[in-house]
Structure formats: C-alpha cells, structure tokens
C-alpha cells in the first residue's frame, strides 16, 4: 500500500507544470535620506532566474511554488559624505508563492509574494578613496512581492515581463548607526520555458 501511495505521489509531482523564467533588466535608482544625509543609489543591471512548479489549480487560476534568484552586480552610490561606500553588489534569494490567472490565454497576468535573503558586497574603497572600514559583505532578510505578465510564444517558449520589489535591510553605508530598510524595485523582461505537463 505504501509503495502504491509513493508511486501516486511521484506521478502527481511529475504531472505538475514547471516554469523556468530567465529575465534581465534594471534595479531602479532611488534617493534616500539616512540620518540627515542625502544618498543617491544609481540604477543597476539585474539578472534573474525563477523556477516554479504548479501546485494547485487549473488554466483559470493556478498556484505555483517558486524560487527566485536575482543578481545586481554593481550599483554606484553618490553622497556628500566621503566616508560612504562608493558602490555595492547584491544577490537576492527568495522562495515565493505565485498566483497566475488565465494560464491558457495568450496573456496571463500573475502576482507573487515571499521572503528570503539578500547578500550585499560592499566596495573596498569609500567615496573619498580611503579603505572601507566595514565588513566586505553583509546579509539581511528580504521581503519580495510584485506582479508580471506571461505572453504565449512558440510551443514551450514564452515571454515574461515583471515588476518586483525586494524590500531589505540597507547596505553598510558607514555613516549611520542604522540605515533602516530600503526598497529595491526591479523591472525585467525575458523568456519563460514551460515543461513537464
């Protein structure tokens, strides 16, 4: 009996629909005020991979469990405070739940939310050219949410556009005891591969 249940469970798992989204775009720049100091974070390249498995639902409404990986290799920092880091890189790793609507239609919108980890890598030098006194890397929690749209393409290849916010703790700017949390809005577009019906 246990063997039969195991086989049925494996069959159900492999019957799920899988999606692999590969997108790129930009982390949108922003201006912040930290402890009375103005800080400008430039936009940066965003490279994203998202793997999702349909857990429940049908073509009308479906729920996916997904894991998102987003890397932003360089964002410049501008500040009047010369002790600030001059740039930073970020990696976001966020499991999430996605709800997709009208999966069988030519255009399928979706929303998602989840949480995970952000890792910042800080510049070795400050804006003033001195050695950065802070740790090279820091980690913080990340809350992720947003929406997107999938467009049917050719057979198992489609197209995806997405707007995402990774709401995280701040990088170590070096001039505030606590820099609070920041939004990291990202707009991306690319392809989505579907398999395993």
Is residue 11 one of the residues assigned to a domain? Answer: no
- pLDDT number for residue 9: 43
Q: Report phi then psi at 3, rounded to 5.
A: -65, -40
User: Cα separation of 123 and 129, whole Å?
Assistant: 11
The DSSP call for residue 170 is P
For 159, 166, 196, the CA distances from 101, given in Å and listed in that order, are 15, 23, 19
Mean pLDDT calculated for residue range 153-182: 88
Residue 14 has a pLDDT of 40
Confidence class of residue 8 from pLDDT cuts 50, 70 and 90? very low
List, for residues 140-167, the tens digit of each pLDDT value.
999 999 999 999 998 899 999 999 999 9
157-169 and 181-182 as β-strands: parallel, antiparallel, unpaired? antiparallel
Instruction: Indicate the average pLDDT of the chain.
Output: 89
Q: How confident is the model at residue 174 (pLDDT cuts 50, 70, 90)?
A: confident
Domain that holds residue 121: 17-195
How many domains, in total, are found in the chain?
Answer: 1
Assess if residue 3 is contained within a domain.
no
- Categorize the per-residue pLDDT at 5 as very low, low, confident or very high, splitting at 50, 70 and 90: very low
CATH of the domain at 48: 2.40.160.20
How confident is residue 38, by pLDDT bands cut at 50, 70 and 90?
A: confident
Q: Where are the alpha helices (DSSP H) in the chain?
A: 2-15
On whether residue 10 sits in a domain, the answer given is: no
Confidence band, pLDDT 50/70/90 cuts, at residue 10: very low
Q: What angle do CA 9, 68, 75 make, to 5 degrees?
A: 170
Task: Report yes or no on 72 lying in a domain.
Answer: yes
In a domain, 12, yes or no: no
pLDDT band at residue 75 using 50, 70 and 90 as cut-offs: very high
Per-residue model confidence (pLDDT) at position 2? 52
Domain membership of residue 5 (yes or no) is no
Q: Would 1 be classed as within a structural domain?
A: no
Which residue in 179, 56, 37, 196 sits closest to 122, CA to CA? Answer: 179
Q: What are the pLDDT digits (tens) for 115-132? A: 999 999 999 999 999 999
């Amino acid at each position: 009996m246990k063997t039969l249940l195991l086989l049925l469970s494996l069959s159900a798992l492999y019957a799920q629909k899988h999606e692999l989204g590969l997108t790129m775009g930009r982390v949108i720049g922003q201006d912040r005020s930290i402890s009375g100091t103005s800080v400008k974070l430039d936009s940066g390249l965003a490279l994203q991979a998202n793997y999702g498995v349909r857990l429940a639902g049908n073509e009308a409404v479906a729920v996916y469990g997904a894991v998102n990986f987003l890397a932003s290799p360089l964002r410049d920092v501008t500040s009047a405070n010369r002790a600030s880091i001059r740039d930073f890189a970020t990696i976001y790793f966020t499991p999430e739940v996605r709800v997709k609507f009208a999966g069988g239609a030519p255009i399928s919108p979706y929303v998602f939310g989840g949480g995970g980890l952000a890792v910042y890598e800080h510049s070795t030098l400050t804006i003033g050219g001195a050695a950065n006194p802070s740790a090279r890397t820091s980690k913080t929690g990340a809350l992720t949410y947003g929406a997107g749209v999938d467009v049917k393409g050719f057979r198992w290849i489609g197209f995806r556009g997405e707007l995402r916010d990774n709401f995280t703790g701040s990088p170590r700017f070096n001039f505030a005891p606590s820099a609070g949390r920041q939004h990291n809005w990202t707009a991306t577009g690319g392809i989505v591969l579907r398999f395993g019906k």
